[in-house]
Amino acid sequence: MKTRMLNLIQLAMDDKTKLKKLEGIYDLYDQLQYSENLNEMANTLFEWLENKYDLKSINFSLFDLKDETTSSILKKGEEFYLDGEFTVYFIVNTHTEINAIISFNTQNETKYNLLTEDKDFLDAAFFQISPILQNGIMKKHHIEASSIDSVTNVHNRKYLIEHIHKIISLSNKKEENISFLMIGIDRFKAVIDEFDYDIGDKVLIELAKVIHKSVKDFDIVARLTGDEFLVALVNLKSNSEAENIAKRIINEFAQAEIIVNENTNQILKKTICIGISSFPEDSNDINQVLKNADSFLNEARNNGRGEVAIYKEEDNSTIDLF
């Protein structure tokens, strides 16, 4: 690619049109350098392609070679396929298990021919910006790896601790109530004892799915440790509204079927208990609110399986959660 770049530079010295295209590549490079994250890089790249080639459809996605899964960073325009007509794509190799696939569809033959004619310049552009995109991908991967629970793909305890005060600060400004659900799986240790940790992970993953389906996108779901999850429900009016959500999660999870043995179709069903406390309705001290939620999870478990317990003002807890 180095030789091809030198050839392009040589051609640009004698052709103002080619020189302008070459300058456009370095303009893109400069813009990407100041992008704060991968999403901003993707949008900057899309705007550049739209301006240069009138492209309206792009798909910027990450592919995990280890898990063989794809996650979208940016999708614009009409749906198209990687091997479809008039589609062009580039792969950004990070030399790790995470690579990027950047594809765009020209929608008609005229635009496609224009891209084909400019293929050397496009190749040069992606050659120049690949190191920046690689850094963006690695930064995103590192941040997610340090804040996501590896089993359930929800946030971990570290992320929650770092962001909980930001949530509280935002709540105070908007005078909103935040309800915290402390969720624990009933007799989870029995699953490990009777089966193994792989089955235990299946139970945890299923619970995480049920929780996510029952809450809003901006609510926070985190796995604390073992079988316990903490959910922050933002912008709720009262504990009673949180109780309805908690009951829905309990009922949904009780119906979930976890396959224990695919050969025999053996099914496992589990139940959960939930403790609820709200900020600032129950206390202006977030640590106290979290202690309350944890204390009432224990009370719910003492009452049986599939139970909810809600903090009341006269109740106190001495459990130190954080």
pLDDT digits (tens, 9 = 90+) for 47-66: 999 998 899 999 999 998 87
Q: Which of 94, 123, 147 is the last residue of a domain?
A: 147
Q: Is 281 helix (H, G, I), strand (E, B) or coil?
A: coil
Report the 10 Å Cβ neighbour count for 312: 11
Task: Tell me which of 170 and 107 has the higher pLDDT.
Answer: 107
CATH number for the domain harbouring residue 20: 3.30.450
Helix (H) or strand (E) holding 19, with range, is: helix 16-33
Judge whether 241 lies within some domain.
yes
For the chain, give the number of residues: 322
* The pLDDT value given to residue 319: 44
The β-bridge relationship of strands 308-310 and 272-279 is parallel
What's residue 260's pLDDT? 87
* Same domain membership, residue 140 and residue 94: yes
* 316, containing H or E segment: none
Task: For residue 123, tell me if it sits in a domain.
Answer: yes
What pLDDT does 2 receive? 59
Q: Which of 27, 68, 18, 17 is nearest to 47 (CA)?
A: 27
> Which has the higher per-residue pLDDT, 115 or 297?
297
Interatomic CA distance for residues 295 and 275, integer angstroms = 7
At 164 the pLDDT is: 81
> Which domain covers residue 235, as residue numbers?
155-310
The pLDDT of residue 320 = 45
Residue 173's pLDDT is 58
Percent of the chain at pLDDT > 70 equals 88
Q: Which of 29-43, 55-69, 167-181, 209-223 has the lowest mean pLDDT?
A: 167-181
Note whether 142 and 202 are same-domain residues.
no
Asked whether 322 and 288 are in contact (CB, 8 A), the reply is no
Residue 322's pLDDT band, with cuts at 50, 70 and 90, is: very low
**pLDDT band at 313; cut points 50, 70, 90:** low
Q: What is the per-residue pLDDT across 112-138, written as a single tens digit (0 to 9) for each?
A: 998 888 888 888 889 889 999 999 998
The average pLDDT across 223-243 equals: 86
Mean pLDDT, to the nearest integer, of 178-204? 93
Q: Is the dihedral of CA 26, 71, 249, 187 positive or negative?
A: negative
Look at residue 318 and tell me if it is in a domain: no
pLDDT at 6 over 80: no
Q: Report the mean per-residue pLDDT for the chain.
A: 86
- Asked if residue 314 has pLDDT above 70, the reply is no
pLDDT at 261 > cutoff 70: yes
| Residues 169, 258 share a domain | yes
